[in-house]
A and B are shown apart, each in its own frame.
Chain A
Amino acid sequence: MKLSYFLQYLASGITVGSVYALVALGFNMIYNATGIINFAQGEFVMLGGMTMVFLTGALKLPMWISFIVSVMSVTAVGALLERGAIYPLKGAPPITLIIITIGASILIRGASILIWGEDAYRLPGITGDRPIRVLGASILPQSFWVIGVGAILMGALQLFQRYTLFGKAMRASAADSEAATLVGISPRRMTLWSFAISAAIGSVAGIIITPIVFTHYNVGVMLGLKGFCAAVLGGLGSFMGAVVGGFLLGVLEKLAVGFAPIGYSGYENAIAFIVMLLILFLRPSGILGRGEVEKA
């Protein structure tokens, strides 16, 4: 195994792992607040990238304005989804909620086709697209942006949940919504915020990854599912689990593909699901989870 190859695959693994981690965090945010697996999580990622391309490309707005507007619009979509389709269905069985969020995912993809068509788009890298040579490996500068922004967002979320009153209220509501109500927290409002924040995280992931992975109406499906695999790998509902699971899955995928015999790289998309099934069968609470799968 040559070091430069290893570095190369490691770098792309960490890059894509950052995105998986962000998507997994979005899953956990909603799962903790509501016990729902949001099948439209990947669509937030897609919408983030698409809106950014639209604002910077078609409307020629500056990068930072486009960024803020994109994140805010996708956040609004997340909030709208909660108010429109989740809020009215309190206490519905899982199958109803699964169908609802799958319906939302299809609806959002359909709307994306109507607005932007079925073409693939990309963004220029924030600091150019010329690869940087690191110890023989060539790494896109955008990779550093993805990893950096991802790390900052993960850190900020962790601080928010641990040290702000609002973050504590969200965690309290997730831990025991009745007890939280007794101290004046509204679980319904926390649910709304969980969807909004989750959409915001997804949109940021979508924006920073678009210079590397082209975006199109269907790009969110696979990213969403892999993000879910990462969440399960780390332990559904666990913050650190999402981060660890995301990076682990990304690196595992890229290393496996990098060192697979010629002609076998097509199996890349099966790896995440095989890992997820193994975890679900052998240790359903994940690497860092708390272990209450059965009641789901």
Chain B
Amino acid sequence: MRNRDYLIFILILLGTGLIPLPLMPLEAGGFYIRVLTVILLYSIITTGLSLLMGYAGQISLGHAAFFGLGAYCSGLLAVKLPISPWLALPAAVAGTALVSYAVAIPVLKLKGHYLAMATLGFGEIVYVFLKELDWLTGDPAGLIGIPPFSLGRLSLISSESQYYMTWAFFSLVLLLSVSLINSRVGRALRAIHGDDLAAEALGVNVSKLKIQAFVLSAVYAALAGSLYAHFEGFIGYTTFNLMLSIKLVTMVVIGGMTNIWGALLGTAILTALPQFLTAFKDYEMVVYGAIMILVMLFAPRGLIGLILRRKRDEEAVA
């Protein structure tokens, strides 16, 4: 199990690292690379959500808020103080981690539908505040003029440089997550998912671990938010709405919650799909809703579950 996870990890790193190379010379290459950047950016968030949902068994319908907090903290620090984006990023991540910790303590006492609604409520509250605090952001539409990351004199504004920067952070996040899953913590999280009480009886500090998983997933989301803010140069509150929270959860569930690879698969498919369905924009919501229902009805373990089951069936036959 352990070696297989690291093998998949290396294969994914190689794949995502090499994929832009053949695209670069293409005329539409920049577009594809930007789509790939968004996929990696969301993958950072959904990796965390997968740990929270698939391993710790807790749902969150408010992660757009942590993405938004990361983006706004980082953007505001870099615009108003101003400090370098390289300092704004860790500051934003730390700030969001504190907020998520304060939220996690009361929220994670709830379960199931109640937890879903409480996290959703938190997301809505943050959304309203991001919208109303325009005296802070200076513009009702959002925060403008956020500086890009730079190395010496070189500003990272080309789509390739943004891609590889996201890739580097994505690699770190994935490595950390894979090691976590294959450690004592990962086994404890799975035990919580299986049965709270039994895990507690076996000496797992259930509430502490749940909170840690929640904060870690918020940290990942804030990291992605900070990257997003400095890539785009502009952020508006409308990005961080309920629909984004729902989409992130959907990516994890559609891909499959049984392991983090499912989350990556779901993120890639659900991010890429709308980009190539723009001709059918009116149908986007119908298709999206239908996919959610159909996958839950016919593949409740997600797309990765379908793949794994087939493999298991073949092994059983052989």
Name A residues whose Cβ lies closer than 8 Å to a Cβ of B. Answer: 35-37, 84-85, 88-89, 92, 94-96, 98-100, 102-111, 113-114, 221, 225, 228-229, 232, 264, 266-267, 269-270, 273-274, 276-277, 280-281, 284, 293-296
Contact = CB atoms under 8 A, between A and B. Distances in A.
B282 interface: yes
Given A95-B53, A225-B124, A280-B110, A106 B129 contact: no
A106 B288 contact: yes
B24 to A, nearest CB: 36
B78 interface: no
B31 interface: no
Interface residues of B, number: 44
A96 B300 contact: yes
A102 B128 contact: no
Main SS class of interface, A: helix
B253 to A, nearest CB: 5
A155 B197 CA distance: 43
B309 interface: no
B90 to A, nearest CB: 29
B125 A270 contact: yes
B283 A85 contact: no
A116 to B, nearest CB: 12
B248 to A, nearest CB: 12
Interface of B: 53, 59, 61, 106-107, 109-114, 116-118, 120-122, 124-125, 128-129, 131-132, 242, 246, 249-250, 253, 257, 282-293, 296-297, 300
B128 A94 contact: no
B121 A266 contact: no
A99 B286 contact: no
Contact of A99 (B107, B114, B253): B253
Given A107-B286, A114-B282, A293-B114, 14 more contacts: A37-B116, A37-B117, A89-B296, A89-B300, A95-B59, A98-B116, A100-B292, A103-B293, A107-B289, A110-B287, A228-B117, A267-B128, A277-B121, A277-B125
B296 A96 contact: yes
A221 B246 CA distance: 13
Nearest to A35: B113
A276 B114 contact: no
B106 A281 contact: yes
Report, nearest first, the 6 A-B pairs whose CB atoms are least far apart.
A107-B289, A110-B285, A103-B292, A110-B286, A106-B289, A273-B121
A95 B253 contact: yes
A72 to B, nearest CB: 23
B114 A280 contact: yes
